[in-house]
Amino acid sequence: MSATTVQVPFFSGRRSAARERDAVEARVRGWLEGGEDPLAELAARLSALTGSRHVVPVGSASDALIVLLRAAGVGPGDEVVVPAYTFFASASSVIHVGAEPVFVDVEPETYAIDPEAATRAFTRATKAIMPVHLFTQMADLPRICAAAREHDVLVLEDSAEAIGMRLGSQHAGTFGLGGVLSFFPTKTLAAIGDAGAVMTDDDALAERARLLASRGVTRDGDHLEIGYDTRCDQLQAAVLLCRLDRLDADVVRRAEIAARYDARLGELAPHVSVPTLRPSDPPSTYVYYVYSIECDRRDDLVAHLDRRGVGTETYYPWPLTEQPCLRGRPGIRFDVPVAQRLSQRAVGLPMYPDLSDEDVEHVCDAIADFYETS
């Protein structure tokens, strides 16, 4: 088979989905016939996995961020410090609750919010800081939480990508007042549609999150809040329960793929930089949700890989400070040179358990050919 006919999509879960079909169908049928509600079982299993006392499944991680912010009391007149290099929902969720995102730079190794830059951004209006655990490893939560305590600022974690990531024995999303999880179809633990969850140890926050996620109405029919209709459905819950059974194996497979990428692409320095895992004390558990490289002539490489049948994803083409709908907002008041550099050099490669070793070698061959012949 010639190189041009090999197809390695950026993401595909078809092989896994085919294996799970019967198990998912059995769970859904059991619920329809009066068995246990998959949503209740999902919340309990996620609680056991993460160590969070409360897990509230919702319709998406973007909704989870909005619910978390509102349940934590963030609203008009408040500022929330967020990284300039992250998914758009980290900022839009803040705006949706009437608060103002304040953008600061990220660290060059972890791509997570820079604790020193974040601390400099604190003002009397700062209600919360939202660290984002991006791609593979957690933000520097010990420093972030210490600074937040000193300045009486809430820590609300955008841990959407971070299932399985831990610092020591503590799971991402459990260091501050609350966190979120995403189960978007490309995620490490993935639904077949959209789904997410709010996590917290705080009883009052969990109660309000459940209320907000269910239109603000109690079981007695009393509308206590102007809430949202953002509930995870039983089908997605059934899928997630089946995939929880193989989550550990999937994480191991992702690490194997990353090691193969590291070995091959590490030979292409300085044109290509592979991910740097920062050591921590206690040791961190890393999970490769995205395998992101930094590279010379990023856009030309992306076009070359497309011609070779390799899918990629540009994470992220612009810092949030340069997004058209955010330009001119008062929260854009700091320089973000690391975020700007990453937006010009970073690209995500295929990374999912269904990838074969031959798929990974094809991706690496195509990248090596680009730099050897151009």
Q: Would you state the pLDDT for residue 2?
A: 45
For the chain, domains (ranges, CATH) are 14-105+112-244 (3.40.640.10), 246-373 (3.90.1150.10)
d(CA 43, CA 184): 17
Q: Would you state the pLDDT for residue 1?
A: 39
Segment 263-275, tens digit of pLDDT: 999 999 999 999 9
Segment 98-138, tens digit of pLDDT: 999 999 999 999 999 999 999 999 999 999 999 999 999 99
Average pLDDT over every residue of 275-286: 94
Helix (H, G, I), strand (E, B) or coil at 348: strand
pLDDT at 218 over 80: no
pLDDT at 3 over 60: no
Contact by Cβ (8 Å): 286, 165: yes
**Percent of the chain beyond pLDDT 70?**
98
d(CA 82, CA 253): 31
pLDDT level of residue 6 (50, 70, 90 thresholds): low
Averaged pLDDT of the chain: 93
Contact by Cβ (8 Å): 108, 129: no
For 325, half-sphere exposure in the C-beta direction (CA atoms, 13 angstrom radius) is 6
d(CA 130, CA 121): 12
Choose between 310 and 25: higher pLDDT: 310
Q: Would you state the pLDDT for residue 5?
A: 59
d(CA 106, CA 23): 42
* Burial of 90 from C-beta contacts in 10 A (0-12 / 13-18 / 19+): buried
Segment 148-195, tens digit of pLDDT: 999 999 999 999 999 999 999 999 999 999 999 999 999 999 999 999
